[in-house]
């Protein structure tokens, strides 16, 4: 007797399954079951599609952005060259003044907001308030030192960049500061590798590229002052190839929007160039005003005897804000002589006192 195709024999595995039930799934098709180890790496591979391990940083996109913004880049480079020539012939104190202003500005990138007054007092006499964060002041002081002078870091060497930043590997991996557990040297090596690939970019474009890279390479992961480090390093990279007058590219004077890491490479580079151009113009205008003030002050104090009046003009040109203890520490003159000259300069309309109080007063030049 021929068996009907839809009649199943009792006791068979198929008799417990209806005609509309799906086919049974073999154990090999169960993706959620642990794979059997056979000694081959492919047996442990996940069943889902593999992640794309291609580079996340598209340097070609930055090259295209630079080509599309060639006119804007040329304008910024020309203005930076003018600033370099201006500072090459200027007194040494002018660079220190600009570095103080820039370091105070880039400190606003993070939660640490250091004013030029606080930074000046810290640099001159290591004076800080009781409730002030000395570590934040020390980081701003580091930025000022790196923006004032020092060798240009080799951005293709992780050791050179680490020395420039003053970073050190922790004795043990701190999972609070470094959630990934990756050593700082490896993070800097990845940053340097990408910077080496972008070696054909213009130094200003390369500076913008390097500042953007700080995030993807993990160097911003919960490290205090990392945004400031990225800005300072980028400011130094942009002056590569200049005569040594302009040690850094001013960025804070044009607003900090140019340092935001949003948008495609063309948008980032456009904002960076726009902010740099505004900052350079503001710096050149400030230097013009400072030079004119020095001329007025020298003429007004021409008949004064002694070295203190001349030294006070130099100190007020070098420091945006000056207190009597600062001037005493820098010039070596007596407190009485300094107070007398400060009061006379205030009466002449050369300087003004900004605190409005009788003690712990601070003066600035009326540039």
> What long-range pairs does 164-173 form, CB within 8 A, spacing at least 24?
164/233, 165/229, 165/233, 166/142
CATH 1.10.3290.10 residue ranges of the chain are 59-286
Helix axes 324-331, 116-125, angle to 10 degrees: 40
pLDDT for 176: 43
Q: Give me the tens of pLDDT residue by residue for the chain, a chain 367 residues long.
A: 455 554 545 555 555 666 666 666 565 555 666 555 555 555 555 555 554 444 568 899 999 999 999 999 999 999 999 999 999 999 888 999 999 999 999 888 876 788 887 888 788 776 565 455 688 888 899 999 999 888 888 998 988 998 898 877 665 544 444 445 577 788 888 899 999 999 999 999 999 999 988 877 767 666 777 888 899 999 999 999 898 899 999 998 877 777 877 889 999 999 999 999 999 999 999 999 999 999 999 999 988 888 899 999 999 999 988 888 888 888 888 988 998 999 999 999 999 988 877 777 889 999 8
CATH class of 59-286: mainly alpha
pLDDT for 95: 92
pLDDT for 9: 53
Q: Which residues neighbour 118 within 8 Å (Cβ) at sequence distance 6 or greater?
A: 128, 129, 132, 137
301-365: CATH topology is Arc Repressor Mutant, subunit A (1.10.10)
pLDDT for 116: 81
Residue 244 CA to residue 15 CA, distance in Å, equals: 90
10 Å Cβ neighbour count for 191?
22
Q: Which run of H or E residues covers position 352?
A: strand 351-353
Residue 312 CA to residue 157 CA, distance in Å, equals: 43
Q: Among 204, 158, 166, which Cα is nearest to 185's?
A: 158
pLDDT for 136: 84
pLDDT for 168: 74
321-331 burial, b at 16+ Cβ within 10 Å, e below that, comes to bbbeebbbebb
Rounded (5°) CA angle 321-325-331:
85
pLDDT for 70: 96
pLDDT for 175: 47
CATH 1.10.10.10 residue ranges of the chain are 301-365
Q: Among 146, 86, 115, which Cα is nearest to 287's?
A: 86
pLDDT for 113: 80
**pTM, 2 dp:** 0.78
Residue 105 CA to residue 256 CA, distance in Å, equals: 8
- On whether the CB atoms of residues 220 and 261 are closer than 8 A, the answer is no
Q: For 260, left (φ over 0), alpha (ψ -120 to 50), or beta?
A: beta
Q: Copy the structure tokens of residue 134.
A: 């000395």
Residue 364 CA to residue 12 CA, distance in Å, equals: 99
pLDDT for 39: 52
- Which phi and psi angles does 358 have, rounded to 5°? -80, -25
pLDDT for 199: 92
Residue 210 CA to residue 259 CA, distance in Å, equals: 11
pLDDT for 203: 96
């Amino acid at each position: 007797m021929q068996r009907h195709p839809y009649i199943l024999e009792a006791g068979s595995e198929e008799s417990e399954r209806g005609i509309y039930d799906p086919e049974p799934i073999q154990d090999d098709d169960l993706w959620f079951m642990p794979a059997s180890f056979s000694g081959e790496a492919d047996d442990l591979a996940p069943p889902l599609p593999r992640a794309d391990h291609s580079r996340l940083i598209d340097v070609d996109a930055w090259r295209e952005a630079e080509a599309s913004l060639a006119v804007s880049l040329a304008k910024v480079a020309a203005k930076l060259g003018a600033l370099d020539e201006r500072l090459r012939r200027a007194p040494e104190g002018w660079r220190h003044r600009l570095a103080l202003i820039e370091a105070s500005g880039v400190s606003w990138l993070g939660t640490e907001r250091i004013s030029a007054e606080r930074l000046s007092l810290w640099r001159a006499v290591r004076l800080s308030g009781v409730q002030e964060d000395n570590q934040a002041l020390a980081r701003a002081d580091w930025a000022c030192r790196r923006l004032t002078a020092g060798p240009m870091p080799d951005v293709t060497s992780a050791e050179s960049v680490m020395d420039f930043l003053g970073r050190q590997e922790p004795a043990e991996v701190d999972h609070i500061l470094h959630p990934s557990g990756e050593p700082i040297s490896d993070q800097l090596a990845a940053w340097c590798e990408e910077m080496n690939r972008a070696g054909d970019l213009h130094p200003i474009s390369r500076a913008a590229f390097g500042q953007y890279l700080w995030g993807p390479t993990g160097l911003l992961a919960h490290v205090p002052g990392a945004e400031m480090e990225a800005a300072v390093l980028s400011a130094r990279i942009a002056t590569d190839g200049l005569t040594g007058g302009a040690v850094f590219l001013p960025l804070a004077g044009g607003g900090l929007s140019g340092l935001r890491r949003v948008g495609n490479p063309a948008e980032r580079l456009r904002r960076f160039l726009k902010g740099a151009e505004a900052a350079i113009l503001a710096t050149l205008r400030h230097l013009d005003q400072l030079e004119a003030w020095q001329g007025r002050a020298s003429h007004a104090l021409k008949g004064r005897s002694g070295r203190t009046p001349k030294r006070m003009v130099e100190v007020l040109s070098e420091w945006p804000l000056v207190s009597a203890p600062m001037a005493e520490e820098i010039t070596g003159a007596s407190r009485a002589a300094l107070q007398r000259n400060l009061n006379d300069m205030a009466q002449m309309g050369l300087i003004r006192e900004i605190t409005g109080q009788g003690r712990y007063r601070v003066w600035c030049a009326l540039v």
